[in-house]
Each structure stands twice: as structure tokens, then as C-alpha cells.
């Protein structure tokens, strides 16, 4: 006897048993109802073992009291996506913050979570704990987190036609990365060490300095940025960050502004 035939016969027998019992619930004929039930059971017992019938019965009872489909959610409710994004943002923007520090910051915003929850969320997003996270800071993350206190400095040259021919002038400028504000520091034909020292002194002036609110200054490895220039900026709490050789993309905002200046057409209208 095939398995398919057994299952079909068993289901038909159970259905027939249920229908017979429902049609013979008349209290005036109890014997008739019991005879029909016994006959139906005998038919089912011919194609299934008693253990199989009991297993079907237990399955029907379990299905009756199974309320899993009526549940709103399985298990513990998940965190809101807004809180998860806030955790990840805090961890990325503050590499030195541990789990407890992030929990405290979230509590100030009205979100109560545990440090274990913060750790699980950060691990799912591939973020290491605070000590390792602060040691693996990329240049892109450093620029993004310190944009307000970062500035770039560089030179560009201008060829000026004089009575003696073309003369090369060097223009020194500072660019604040967050606001993109450009400040022209000075122009000279000979950027000596004393001239660079004076430009640095003007940049950190408390009244009108370009770098009053900056902490880091990005510059290339040009020899014009001499030791006197860096030492003068250090007195104003500005740290110079020399870029690796042949890496203009690390000071992209400055390089892009120089390209814009070089590509501008000459002024043809009279200056008013």
C-alpha cells in the first residue's frame, strides 16, 4: 500500500468520522451515534496504526490552541531604526567613545538602551570597540569629523608682465574646509623664511587672524613651509599636518580652488 494512498484514506476516514458524529448528536438516539463512531474508527484503524491516529489527534489539539499567527511580533521587539542609526553615527563621529559613553549620550536624548545592546548593534555594522576604533581612523573619517577646525594652505603662481619681462609672483592663501572661506595671506616674489614667519603671525592674530578657530593646518611638503612657519603657528595652538609626497588628493579642496583660479578668464570689464 503506497504512502499517498494511506494518507488519503486516513484523512477521508477522519473527515467521515467528524461528519458522522455531527449528524448523529441527537440525544434521542445515543446508540445510533455510538454505532456510527465505532464504525468510522474501525475504517480508519484499517489504514493507520493507533500511534499514528493519536499523533494526528495531538496535532489537531495543538493547532487549535496555537496562537503564534495572532502575535504582533515574535520575541523581543527590535530597536527602532532611528536609534540604530544614531548609535552608528555616534560611534563613527567619536572613535574614542565606548559603549557606556554612547549609552549616556542616548539617555540624554531620551533613549534608554543597555551597553550590551550598543555592542551588538556596532558589531553588526562592523564597528570595533573604542580602543581599536580610534586606532583605525581613516583619512576620510578624520577630515569629516574635524571639518570645522581644519584649514588648508598652499601657493599658486601668477606671471606678471613687467618692464623687464615676465616675473613670477607667489600667492599664499588659506582655505577653511567647512565654510570654504578663502583668505589671501600675501603675495611676494621671494617667499623667504622671515616672510613666511610673518604670514604665520598674521594668521594666528587674535583680532583678525585667519586661523583663530582652527586647530589643524594641511599643507604639502614644499620647502617654503619652513620650520619657522610651523613653530609660529604652534604658538597659536595650530598643528601643521604635512601630507605624504605626491598626494594632492588629500588636500583636494585647496587643489580644486587653485584649478578654479587658473581656469578663470581674464577680467575684461573695467574695475569700478
Residue 7 confidence (pLDDT) above 70: no
Q: What is the domain extent for residue 124?
A: 81-137
Confidence at residue 191, expressed as pLDDT on a 0 to 100 scale = 94
Q: Tell me, yes or no, whether 142 lies in a domain.
A: no
* Residues sharing a CB contact under 8 Å with residue 106, sequence separation 6 or more, in sequence order: 83, 86, 87, 90, 112, 113, 118
Considering only 1-5, 44-48, 72-76, 81-85, which range has the smallest mean pLDDT? Answer: 1-5
More confident residue, 182 or 265: 182
Note the pLDDT tens digit of each residue in 117-135. Answer: 998 998 888 887 877 766 6
- Provide mean pLDDT across the span 141-145: 74
Residues 119 and 196 in one domain: no
Q: Tell me, yes or no, whether 76 lies in a domain.
A: no
Q: Indicate the residue among 137, 157, 176 that finishes a domain.
A: 137
Q: Tell me, yes or no, whether 259 lies in a domain.
A: yes
Q: Indicate the residue among 70, 103, 128 that finishes a domain.
A: 70
Q: Tell me, yes or no, whether 271 lies in a domain.
A: no
User: How many distinct structural domains can be found in the chain?
Assistant: 3
N-term to C-term CA, the chain: 107
Q: Indicate the residue among 70, 90, 107 that finishes a domain.
A: 70
- Provide mean pLDDT across the span 14-20: 48
Residue 271 confidence (pLDDT) above 50: no
Q: Tell me, yes or no, whether 75 lies in a domain.
A: no
Residues 167 and 189 in one domain: yes
Residues 113 and 188 in one domain: no
Note the pLDDT tens digit of each residue in 193-202. Answer: 999 999 999 9
Residue 33 confidence (pLDDT) above 80: no
The per-residue pLDDT of the chain, averaged, comes to 80
Residue 25 confidence (pLDDT) above 70: no
Residue 40 confidence (pLDDT) above 70: no
Q: What are the contacts of 165-169 at 24+ separation with CB within 8 A?
A: none
Residues 107 and 26 in one domain: no
Residues 254 and 163 in one domain: yes
Phi, psi of 150 (to 5 degrees): -110, 145
Amino acid at each position: 500500500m503506497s504512502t499517498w494512498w494511506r494518507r488519503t484514506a486516513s484523512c477521508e476516514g477522519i473527515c467521515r468520522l467528524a461528519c458522522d458524529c455531527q449528524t448523529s448528536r441527537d440525544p434521542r438516539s445515543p446508540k445510533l451515534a455510538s454505532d456510527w463512531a465505532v464504525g468510522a474508527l474501525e475504517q480508519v484503524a484499517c489504514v493507520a496504526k493507533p500511534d499514528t491516529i493519536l499523533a494526528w489527534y495531538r496535532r489537531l489539539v495543538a493547532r487549535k490552541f496555537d496562537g503564534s499567527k495572532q502575535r504582533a511580533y515574535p520575541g523581543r521587539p527590535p530597536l527602532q531604526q532611528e536609534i540604530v542609526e544614531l548609535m552608528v553615527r555616534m560611534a563613527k563621529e567619536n572613535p574614542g567613545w565606548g559603549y557606556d559613553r554612547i549609552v549616556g549620550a542616548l539617555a540624554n536624548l531620551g533613549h534608554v538602551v543597555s551597553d550590551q545592546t550598543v555592542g551588538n548593534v556596532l558589531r553588526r555594522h562592523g564597528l570595533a570597540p573604542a580602543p581599536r576604533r580610534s586606532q583605525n581612523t581613516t583619512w576620510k573619517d578624520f577630515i569629516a569629523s574635524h571639518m570645522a577646525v581644519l584649514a588648508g594652505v598652499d601657493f599658486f603662481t601668477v606671471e606678471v608682465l613687467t618692464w623687464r619681462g615676465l616675473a613670477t609672483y607667489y600667492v599664499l592663501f588659506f582655505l577653511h574646509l567647512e565654510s570654504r572661506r578663502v583668505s589671501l595671506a600675501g603675495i611676494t616674489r621671494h617667499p623667504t623664511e622671515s616672510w613666511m614667519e610673518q604670514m604665520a603671525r598674521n594668521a594666528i592674530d587674535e583680532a583678525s587672524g585667519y586661523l583663530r578657530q582652527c586647530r589643524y593646518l594641511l599643507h604639502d611638503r614644499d620647502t617654503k613651509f619652513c620650520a619657522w612657519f610651523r613653530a609660529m603657528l604652534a604658538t597659536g595652538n595650530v598643528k601643521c599636518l604635512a601630507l605624504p609626497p605626491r598626494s594632492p588628493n588629500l588636500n583636494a579642496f585647496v587643489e580644486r580652488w587653485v584649478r578654479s583660479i587658473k581656469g578663470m578668464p581674464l577680467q575684461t570689464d573695467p574695475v569700478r
